[in-house]
Amino acid sequence: MFKIYKYRVSILGTGFIGLCSAACFAEKDIKVLASTHNEKKAKMINDGIAPFFEAGLQEMMDNIKKKHPELLQCMLDPIKAVLETDISMITQGTPMREDKSIDLSYIESTAREIGEALKQKDKYHLVVVRSTVVPGTTRNLVGKIIKDVSGKEPGKDYGLCMQPEFLAEGRSIEDTLHPDRIVIGEFDVKSGSMLQEFYEYFYGEHLNQCPILRMNLESAELVKYGNNCLLSTKISYANEFANFAELVPNVDIVQVMKGVGLDYRINSRFLGAGVGFGGSCFHKDVNAIKAWSKSKGYTSRLLEAVLDINDDQAVHIVDLAEELAGNLMGKKVSLLGLAFKPGTDDMREAASIRVVNELIKRGIKNIEGYDPKANEKAAIELGDKIKFADSIEQVLKDSECALLITEWDEFKKLTPEDFKKHMKTPNLVDGRRLYNYEIFNKNLFFRAIGRINLE
């Protein structure tokens, strides 16, 4: 007996957005056909194994495997996946090119595959771009390729939407299940309404607290950049003020940003000063929209400054270290944390990479790092630029300066005594404002971003 599903969705691309959406949809009785060209990944997904770590994902996949394995399947053939479903979501990566502009090649090849499928299909089909793409891509690249390859008309034979996602790593499942808004960019009303109905079915009552915004394709594409660029700007803004704070004794950036963030028009999130932002999205997206606007004849001064301030934080933390410990050449320097944020082993654009490069530029060669989760990935990224330790004790042993780069809970528990016990000279620079300033400043040789010593 064939079961009739209310919705059958193909997810083309099995990264964070793709697989987390796939698993969340399948849990709600939606038939999902994911597709990837990576055989190993497809097999893992079909065996119910998450191919990467994301909080809650494996548990969700276990549950699906146990109760309804037929609801989540992964194919190597995207054309078949499209043909057997009614909605297709493009969730491919849009990496940064060497020249920092956006690489749309995966989007292009997926659009071609959808076109091939739609050539063979008579029924109306909805195509939704979920990847982050520069304005114009959904209409002029995706829509055009599908039209050219399939011979079908957008708006008549197939629908076209752009729906940005806003999930942060470590929160992907939570963010997918409880978004604060759903943005639907639509080629025409029919496309947008079909996607809205799908989400009304999927989210049910959650939509009482979650507005659905409908707009054209290009506006929706720009919303995503608006989001990531403003978050990056908030961080660089806090770092700019951290540098102001360091011009005056006893001014503390943490208190300053708390005061600023309590304004109801601002909010205190992403005002954390430190060694700077990293991750797979902020650099990529800020650079992509900057390069895009430049190609259209407008040079962004604001985003240039956001990136410059961020890069300078890595240089600044090394300046603080040398102010504190003197010239570090020939001395052992320890890095506490390497991942771009706690809770992940992701090293993409991590601040640790910029700090290591700056240390090496200054002739400092004896660098050792320790991360509770990211040592392995860091070894791929940093090669033999640094040594790796298996524990806090080991990384601090014989060290003359420690730099706190990632605010893992494991590091939060450390007291001044721990640093004194293990280090040759207990110099510590807090790059994330993790430690109690008064206590650490009294008991150690200490510096922190956004505050200078009490005189």
**Given 22, 126, 162, 235, the residue binding ligand UDX (CB under 6 A):** 235
Reading the block at residue 120, the tokens are 């063979």
CB within 8 A of 149, min separation 6: which ones?
111, 112, 115, 116, 118, 119
- What is the footprint of ligand UDX within residues 342-371 (CB under 6 A)? none
Concerning whether 281 is annotated as a catalytic residue, the answer is yes
Distance between CA 82 and CA 34 in Å, rounded? Answer: 10
Q: Is 431 in the site for ligand UDX (CB under 6 A)?
A: no
- What is the footprint of ligand UDX within residues 282-301 (CB under 6 A)? 282
Distance between CA 5 and CA 17 in Å, rounded? Answer: 23
Q: Is 332 in the site for ligand UDX (CB under 6 A)?
A: no
Question: Candidates 160-168, 185-193, 202-210, 382-390 — which segment interacts with ligand UDX by CB under 6 A?
Answer: 160-168
Reading the block at residue 145, the tokens are 């390729």
Find out whether 105 and 112 touch, Cβ atoms under 8 Å.
no
Longest dimension (CA), the chain: 80
Q: Is 52 in the site for ligand UDX (CB under 6 A)?
A: no
Q: Is 451 in the site for ligand UDX (CB under 6 A)?
A: no
Q: Helix, strand, or coil here: 448?
A: strand
Question: Candidates 52-60, 117-125, 278-286, 359-367 — which segment interacts with ligand UDX by CB under 6 A?
Answer: 278-286
Residue keyed to tokens 């300066």: 401
**Given 203, 241, 340, 388, the residue binding ligand UDX (CB under 6 A):** 340
DSSP 141: I
Angle, helices 57-67 vs 16-27, to 10°: value is 40
- What is the footprint of ligand UDX within residues 123-142 (CB under 6 A)? none
Q: Which is nearer to ligand UDX, 151 or 226 (CB)?
A: 226
Distance between CA 285 and CA 221 in Å, rounded? Answer: 11
Q: Which is nearer to ligand UDX, 230 or 302 (CB)?
A: 230
Question: Candidates 279-287, 301-309, 321-329, 412-420 — which segment interacts with ligand UDX by CB under 6 A?
Answer: 279-287
Q: Is 279 in the site for ligand UDX (CB under 6 A)?
A: yes
Find out whether 378 and 371 touch, Cβ atoms under 8 Å.
yes
Active site residues: 281
Residues near ligand UDX (CB under 6 A): 166-169, 228, 231, 235, 270-272, 274, 277-279, 281-282, 340-341
